[in-house]
Amino acid sequence: MLGVKAYNSFGMTEMNGPGVAFECQEQNGMHFWEDCYLVEIIDPETGEPVPEGEIGELVLTTLDREMMPLIRYRTRDLTRILPGKCPCGRTHIRIDRIKGRSDDMFIIKGVNIFPMQVEKILVQFPELGSNYLITLETVNNQDEMIVEVELSDLSTDNYIELEKIRKDITRQLKDEILVTPKVKLVKKGSLPQSEGKAVRVKDLRDNK
């Protein structure tokens, strides 16, 4: 409406606020100010660096701060370093959009799972709304994952159709997270609404 082009920026209060990384005119990732920050991407579980291009937790070290330096500060933000050179000519690395928070990660059957992986699949179905809840339970000493998701206004009442959609979601989730969840389609408005940041994971397992 204003006729201006908007650029994405990454920042955090603990660093210098907004503009720790910024998009260039290519708008294909955000260039980090590598003269001011040492950037690492680690596996949030092991603390080890992930291979280049893979998603992990962003860890920052300030290089030019004098009064309050931060060394290997864990941001809890999940992103990846984009491979290759940027056509704009800048050589500073680029990070992808923030994909979520590492504190949202859970482990089931030895697999690390982020809610964003589940969300990525769910948003592809127009029959689904945006509210969902992942519940983890122990059943017969086994971990079980239940994904409840609200239907949207575009959904049908036809049971056979709904069952087809449910199976399709289950299969696609399994392909993405390598664990087969129980998928339940629920009526719009039946999942708890959270104020502020949505609670996506409820862990009711015996041994968390």
Contacts with Zn ion, residue ranges (CB under 5 A): 24, 26, 86, 88, 90
| DSSP state, residue 164 | H
**Least distance between Zn ion and beta carbon 172 (Å):** 33
Nearer to Zn ion, 79 or 102 (CB): 79
Residue 1 beta carbon to Zn ion: minimum distance, rounded to whole angstroms: 27
Give the tokens for residue 98: 């923030």
22 vs 73 by CB, closer to Zn ion: 22
Q: Indicate the DSSP class of residue 105.
A: -
Nearest to Zn ion of 28, 117 (CB atom): 28
Q: Which helix (H) or strand (E) holds 177?
A: helix 159-177
Least spacing, CB of residue 4 vs Zn ion, in Å:
19
Of the two residues 26 and 45, which places its CB atom closer to Zn ion in the complex?
A: 26
Q: Least separation, in Å, of the C-beta of 41 and Zn ion?
A: 19
Cα 21 versus chain centre, distance: 18
Nearer to Zn ion, 24 or 36 (CB): 24
To the nearest whole angstrom, how small is the minimum distance from the Cβ of residue 85 to Zn ion? Answer: 9
Torsions phi, psi of 43, nearest 5?
A: -75, 120
Strand order through the sheet with 37-42: 37-42, 56-62, 73-79, 100-101
Cα 153 to chain centroid, rounded: 26
Shortest Å distance, C-beta 81 to Zn ion = 13
Residue closer to Zn ion, measured from CB, 24 or 116: 24
The one-letter code for the residue type at 128 is L
The beta-strand segments (E) located in the chain are 9-12, 17-23, 30-32, 37-42, 56-62, 73-79, 94-95, 100-101, 106-108, 111-113, 128-139, 142-151, 182-186, 201-203
